[in-house]
Amino acid sequence: MPSPISLDFYDVELRAHHEHLRAAYRIGRGDEVVDIACGTGLTTREAARAGAPGSVVGVDVSERMLERARQVTAAERLDNVRYELGDAQVHRFDPAGFDVAISRFGTMFFSDPAVAFANIAAALRPEARLVLLVWQRREHNEWARAIDAALGNAAQRPEPGADPFSLGDAEATADILERTGFDGMRFEDVREPVLYGHDLDAALAFVRGFQDTSAALASLSDGEAADAVERLRETLAAHYSDERGVVFDARSWLITARRRR
Ligand SMILES: C[S@@+](CC[C@H](N)C(=O)[O-])C[C@H]1O[C@@H](n2cnc3c(N)ncnc32)[C@H](O)[C@@H]1O
């Protein structure tokens, strides 16, 4: 995840993908909603506005993320939101307590996705809706391929549980959902850019903060790391235009499903 300075940068990066998620929430007045791996809570707060007087629980393993989420939520005077620190894979949710589960790029980091989705299914009422955004496979994401190319041999393969592309295979992911209590799965192919802004230094700092990028740079000598950072800067510069700033192609899946009766 990005460093603290980049938390809001992340919301800007994902703006185009986010619009597809927002159109798919279909949260109704009074719905009880859980936001899985809510991070700093942009989606949690959107759900809170749509669902009031229903309430929203945002769950995340990072206290730092939740601290920021709580700050913004208080500033926006939303009183139907609660944040809980926890690993959504094993978190004790209220059984069958929710009408909708949402997650924006938060469900790819489970060490055992089948256990995690079964736990989420148990928190949902029969026919409750699941609405997720996840990255498609690495090779379908220009931003990831470009960063890998700049890092060369140092590019790291993420550990299980830390792989942003772990749900990228639609068939395998549909199979996990089917086995863990969901049906009616739909995968919408979302092809939108990721946006790294007009400030090249800020874009470089953001990309250096990615877990895989910082692990790769840490594995290099000082000189090699400096060369790799220079290549990263050149890659970002090559994708810059005055009109749109630094932009890469990206593909995500917008997944919708229902808790089986
Ligand atoms: C890419 S961020 C997305 C955050 C948020 N959904 C958003 O769109 O702004 C991934 C989030 O997943 C959280 N996370 C990773 N594994 C988790 C787990 N097992 N349970 C709960 N949260 C988790 C991280 O702390 C991080 O906030």
Check residue 238 and give its pLDDT.
98
Of all protein residues, the one whose alpha carbon is nearest to atom 14 of ligand 1 is: 37
Check residue 5 and give its pLDDT.
41
The tens digit of pLDDT for each residue in 159-196 reads 878 899 999 999 999 999 999 999 999 999 999 999 99
Architecture of the domain whose range is 4-137+158-195+247-259:
3-Layer(aba) Sandwich (3.40)
Q: Dihedral sign for Cα 113, 114, 116, 121, please.
A: positive
φ/ψ of residue 121, rounded to 5: -60, -40
- Asked if residue 65 has its Cβ within 6 Å of ligand 1, the reply is yes
Q: Kindly give the pairing relationship between strand 182-195 and strand 245-259.
A: antiparallel
The tens digit of pLDDT for each residue in 63-90 reads 999 999 999 999 999 999 999 999 999 9
Q: Is the pLDDT of residue 52 over 90?
A: yes
What angle separates helix 222-238 from helix 211-218, to the nearest 10 degrees? 140
Q: How confident is the model at residue 154 (pLDDT cuts 50, 70, 90)?
A: confident
Distances (CA, A) of 106 to 10, 43, 76: 13, 11, 23
- Cβ(86)–Cβ(73) under 8 Å? no
Average pLDDT value for the chain: 94
In this structure, what token pair is assigned to residue 243?
A: 């009109």
CA distance 224 to 6: 25
Query: Which pTM value belongs to this model?
Result: 0.95
104, 109, 167: residue to mutate for ligand 1 pocket, most atoms within 8 A of CB: 109
Least confident of 93-97, 156-160, 235-239: 156-160
Q: Is the pLDDT of residue 2 over 60?
A: no
Check residue 10 and give its pLDDT.
85
Return the ligand 1 atom nearest residue 89 CA.
19
Check residue 117 and give its pLDDT.
98
